[in-house]
Amino acid sequence: MDIGTNSIRILIVRVNPNHSYSVLTQQKEVVRLGGGEFPTRHMQADAMNRGVLVCSKFVQMARSFGASEIVAVATSASRDAENRDKFLLRLRKEAGLDVRVISGKEEARLIYLGVSSGLSLGNRQAVFIDIGGGSTEIIVGDEHQHHYLDSLKLGAIRLTSTCLKLNDPSPVRRPKYKLLQQEVKNASAVTIGHVKKYHLDLAIGSSGTIVNLAEIASRQFNGRPLQRDDVLTHTQLKAVVRRLCGLTLAQRRRVPGINPERADIIVAGAAVLDTLMAELGLSEILVSDRGLRNGMLANYLSRSESAGLLEQMSVRERSVLLLGRACGFDETHARHVGELATQLFDSAAKMGLHTMTPTQRELLNYAALLHDIGVFLSFVNHQDHTYYLIRNSELLGFDQTEIQIIAAVARYHRKGFPSAQKEEMQHLDKASQKAVSQLCVFLRLAEALDRSHAAMVQQASFKTNGRQGVRLRVRSAAEATLELWGAMNHAKYFKKVFRRELTVKT
């Protein structure tokens, strides 16, 4: 549970014996715990009442799911309130909840864990910005570790309370907006100086404020809801700011894409982001819907016995493995099929049969790992179930095109063959469609070569066979007649894609 200044969030997770996890539910309630607090440094009685009520309901919800442990942290509103002990005591007595109030830097660390664990940054270094109700966390880090953490006393509720007024029905005139920006500059000057010392490849924004601003911008400029991997440009943000500032509170609540509950604090939140982007010279920011609660989960899982193994993996590999395990896949078979498929990919590249990239090789391996997860639902037509599960799972570190390619390749490991007219292919460009057609041939052959799930075939490669032929050579630990027969059944697909005759030989 994340007890924040504006909202209280709960993430309920089942941790499985094989170290995968399943998200059972995510819930959020806006409670405005920091409403009226910041001028006096005292949490208001009605705000505490709302907080205790929501926490009590969330504890009941967690128990109804069978939760054996509840991890709860409180952030800016609680750590800055002089009467926080009264609130924490009420939570313990009335909600049965022990809450840990965390520092700003610990909040920044957990946000980094939550957001970075859902991205494939590689060697790139990013600045992470999270704008909450009472504070703004700024982090510099790469895929493996953070290099700088800071927390600023700048938040959408705090800034509205000190420079404007909560639930003020009036538009925000330009002088008032300039005042907001000056407050942000004053509070962030030292941090900006530190962050500018780092080489930054990209910027990533999280939290409800940034996501909501990006949602408004997407509706305004793209004519559609916000999608995964969307970016918010500074130009778009400034246009959204001009629009919001010119509206009354009632009018802001009707802006397409806005969360009406944020209408009175959204301008102050926008001023924080607008000013930080200007001061850091950021032309755009990638939007993430992950945050503190995801970081709490990552932090919790890092203490498990399997943490060492999982932490050595990339974000992409880890998310694929966790999906497979959540579906109870045959991991030994899946890994072996992946090895054979990539062996075929490599030998085909050496022969000049294809010109695909290392990234497409990686996607082939992931499709091989997941190709049978549809059996979790039913063996009958499990290739269709596999496609659905991959397309609708939160595979972290991938963009939508990559997920579509993995799903389509896994779908066509058996029955049917991909074509531009098939539904699974219609959202892919021609280059990606061609890649799917080629990759699924390698997966079909690899799966056939481990038909018995006994790893009889240890190595597989292509060799030239005359001027127009290709021979599939395999090395097996024992007679693998069944596997070879299975591979030959896919010779017609090989010819269709690569325009070569395929023969199979040990």
Q: What are phi and psi of 44, to 5 degrees?
A: -75, 150
Kindly list the distances between the CA atom of residue 227 and the CA atoms of 212, 214, 215, 232, 486, in Å, as whole numbers in the listed order.
Answer: 12, 10, 9, 11, 41
For CATH 1.10.3210.10, list the domain ranges present in the chain: 313-505
Q: Does domain 2-102 have CATH number 3.40.50.1370?
A: no
Q: What are phi and psi of 474, to 5 degrees?
A: -130, 150
Checking if the pLDDT of 58 tops 60, the result is: yes
Token code pair at residue 62: 């967690």
**Block residue for tokens 């009958």:** 380
**Nearest CA to 210 among 270, 259, 252?**
270
- Which of 32-36, 176-180, 324-328, 484-488 tops mean pLDDT? 176-180
Q: What is the mean pLDDT of residues 349-359?
A: 94
| Counts of helices then strands in the chain (DSSP H, E) | 20, 14
pLDDT of residue 309: 53
For CATH 3.30.420.40, list the domain ranges present in the chain: 2-102
Checking if the pLDDT of 310 tops 60, the result is: no
The amino acid occupying position 182 is Q
SS3 letters across 262-276: HCCCHHHHHHHHHHH
Token code pair at residue 380: 């009958």
pLDDT of residue 83: 95
Higher pLDDT pick, 144 / 312: 144
pLDDT of residue 118: 87
Q: What is the mean pLDDT of residues 224-228?
A: 91
pLDDT band at 312 (very low <50, low <70, confident <90, very high): low
Percent of the chain with pLDDT over 70: 98
- Where does 104-292 sit in CATH, by number? 3.30.420.150
pLDDT band at 399 (very low <50, low <70, confident <90, very high): confident
**Block residue for tokens 């995968």:** 20
Q: What is the mean pLDDT of residues 78-85?
A: 94
231: Cα separation from own chain's centroid:
14
Q: What is the mean pLDDT of residues 9-23?
A: 85
Average pLDDT value for the chain: 92
Strand partners, 471: 463, 503
Q: What is the mean pLDDT of residues 420-429?
A: 85
Distance CA 50, CA 60 (A): 16
Distance CA 219, CA 244 (A): 14
- Residue-wise pLDDT for 264-288, tens only, equals 999 999 999 999 999 999 999 999 9
Distance CA 208, CA 196 (A): 25
Sign of CA dihedral 416, 420, 423, 427: positive
Q: Does domain 313-505 have CATH number 1.10.3720.10?
A: no
Checking if the pLDDT of 17 tops 90, the result is: no
- Residue-wise pLDDT for 108-154, tens only, equals 999 999 999 888 888 899 999 999 999 999 999 998 889 999 999 99
pLDDT band at 307 (very low <50, low <70, confident <90, very high): low
Token code pair at residue 153: 């006393």
Sign of CA dihedral 46, 50, 51, 52: positive
What's 15's DSSP letter? E
Query: To 10 degrees, what angle do helices 234-245 and 266-280 make?
Result: 150
